[in-house]
């Protein structure tokens, strides 16, 4: 199964690059992922007109989607508009191989992230054991190197991290820091996507998204450069998902 993981579009803000946006759509169309996971910050400030542009853009992606809001999307009561246009903030996708659960880590008008003990049960209830388990949220759970002073990590990162490990979650997908990175802890891959089509880049990094290819016995993750389609393999590993 192919899953495209994109994040931090920041439509239609001053840093959004239309050419990169069109390139992103073209790359997704050519690679034909079965699922596209969008880990937040579709908008710049959560305003209605920004949501309308983001919704129109995302509708052009011809694939199943799991979408969660980011801290920028939750601004200015944007969390309400998110639900109107994209539905639940805790979306669920399931097929005979993979279960993908989206979880809202944003809080209104606050950049810090928070899952909250009251929603931990959603993860426990909706991720069955006989599946490859994927959780998608906006905020990173583990600090990302090269991103300066650590901030805006999940307030309850420790508890949520333990929950993911204890529940044998295979992949945790996030965005927020605009810099691709991956950690592996125990048997869980924590994968962060860069910004897909915004100039809000770290150093000489480039707009990108991640492409996961998953089988019952192996996984590969490639970072795709949106500007030219170049691929950088960041993971290839034989993995016993079902132990």
User: Which pair of tokens denotes residue 113?
Assistant: 């992230």
- Indicate which CATH number applies to the domain containing 15: 3.60.21.10
> For residue 114, what pLDDT is reported?
94
More confident residue, 238 or 205: 205
Would you say residue 17 lies in a domain?
yes
> For residue 217, what pLDDT is reported?
85
User: Which pair of tokens denotes residue 200?
Assistant: 């809000």
**Which of 43, 113, 102, 103 is closest to 72 using CA atoms?**
43
Q: For strands 132-136 and 98-102, give the pairing.
A: parallel
The tens digit of pLDDT for each residue in 72-98 reads: 999 999 999 999 999 999 999 999 999
Would you say residue 243 lies in a domain?
no
Would you say residue 70 lies in a domain?
yes
Confidence tier at 141 by pLDDT (50, 70, 90)? very high
Rounded to the nearest integer, the mean pLDDT of the chain is 94
> For residue 154, what pLDDT is reported?
87
**Which of 71, 66, 116, 73 is closest to 92 using CA atoms?**
66
Mean pLDDT along residues 46-65: 98
More confident residue, 44 or 13: 44
Which of 17-26, 149-158, 202-211, 217-226 is the least confident region? 149-158
The tens digit of pLDDT for each residue in 118-132 reads: 999 999 999 998 899
More confident residue, 216 or 61: 61
Confidence tier at 238 by pLDDT (50, 70, 90)? confident
> For residue 201, what pLDDT is reported?
94
User: Which pair of tokens denotes residue 5?
Assistant: 């993981």
The pLDDT of residue 180 is above 80? yes
What residue numbers bound the domain in which 121 lies?
2-238
Count up the domains in the chain and report the number.
1
Whether this model's pTM surpasses 0.75: yes
Would you say residue 69 lies in a domain?
yes
Beta-ladder partners of 156: none
The pLDDT of residue 151 is above 70? no
């Amino acid at each position: 199964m192919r899953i495209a993981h994109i994040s931090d579009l920041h439509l239609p803000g001053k840093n959004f690059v239309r050419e990169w946006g069109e390139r992103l759509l073209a790359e997704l169309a050519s690679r034909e992922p079965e699922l596209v996971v969008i880990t937040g910050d579709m908008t710049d400030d959560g305003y209605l007109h920004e949501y309308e542009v983001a919704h129109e853009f995302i509708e052009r992606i011809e694939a199943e989607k799991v979408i969660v809001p980011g801290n920028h999307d939750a601004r200015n009561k944007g969390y309400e508009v998110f639900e109107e246009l994209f539905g639940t903030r805790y979306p669920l996708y399931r097929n005979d191989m993979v279960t993908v659960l989206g979880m809202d880590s944003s809080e209104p008008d606050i950049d810090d992230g928070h899952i909250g003990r009251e929603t931990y049960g959603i993860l426990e209830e909706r991720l069955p054991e006989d599946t490859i388990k994927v959780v998608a949220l906006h905020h990173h759970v583990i600090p990302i190197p090269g991103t300066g002073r650590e901030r805006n990590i999940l307030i309850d990162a420790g508890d949520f991290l333990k929950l993911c490990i204890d529940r044998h979650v295979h992949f945790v997908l996030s965005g927020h820091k605009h810099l691709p990175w991956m950690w592996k802890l125990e048997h869980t891959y924590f994968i962060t996507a860069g910004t897909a089509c915004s100039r809000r880049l770290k150093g000489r990094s480039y707009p990108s998204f991640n492409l996961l290819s998953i089988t019952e016995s192996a996984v590969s993750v490639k970072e795709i450069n949106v500007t030219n389609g170049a691929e950088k393999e960041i993971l290839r590993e034989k993995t016993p998902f079902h132990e």
